Amino acid sequence: LGLLALVLGGVLGEVLGLEERLERLGDLLKARFRGGGGFTEGFVAASLLFCVGPMTLIGSINNGLVGDPTLLLIKSTLDGLSSIALAASFGPGVAASALVVLVYQGGLALAAGGLAAALPDPASDPRVLLVTGVGGLMILGLGINLLELTRVRVASFLPALVLAPLFWWLAEVLS
């Protein structure tokens, strides 16, 4: 189901032009804040790295469901260390990703508060695990980009994070 979500999510992301839109947002912020040459690359890489990880999803949901910020605190420490390394390579574009992280993680935590009855234990819920697995594969693509092995259009796979739980639900309905 995860691979199916990645393939169809990638196709949908390409049709919607998500990679280009995220890059345009980075370019807009670059112009607004007079960023250097790697501003957009840093913004995109940091935004994706900080938003698609399993700890982001489970931590935000756990925070929203039971008010426990422990995973998000651990994640913020790891992200802080990662941001230092990314900023050394890409510059101030990494700092601009904070807005994306705020909207994404905050939105997830607020949405999770509304789903409290449906997901009592997000750490073991199969839908959450499927989404975090898809997110983990997206992080692998981001790592390939950072190593400059080839260019993976990771932002185009973002719809897979929404499709994965829908495919899980569809599989349960059909079985």
pLDDT for 160: 92
pLDDT for 35: 60
Global confidence as pTM: 0.69
Of 2, 19, 6, the residue nearest 153 (C-alpha): 19
Of 109, 118, 131, 111, the residue nearest 62 (C-alpha): 109
Q: Where are the domains of the chain?
A: 2-174
pLDDT for 90: 85
pLDDT for 33: 66
- Cα distances (angstroms) measured from residue 101 to each of 10, 48, 51, 124, 167: 21, 9, 6, 24, 26
pLDDT for 29: 73
Q: What is the pLDDT along the chain (175 residues), one digit of tens a residue?
A: 999 999 999 999 999 998 888 888 777 777 776 666 678 888 888 888 888 766 787 778 778 877 788 888 988 898 999 999 998 888 888 988 898 889 988 888 888 777 766 766 766 788 878 887 888 888 788 788 878 899 888 889 989 988 998 999 999 999 8
Burial class of residue 61, CB neighbours in 10 A (0-12, 13-18, 19+): buried
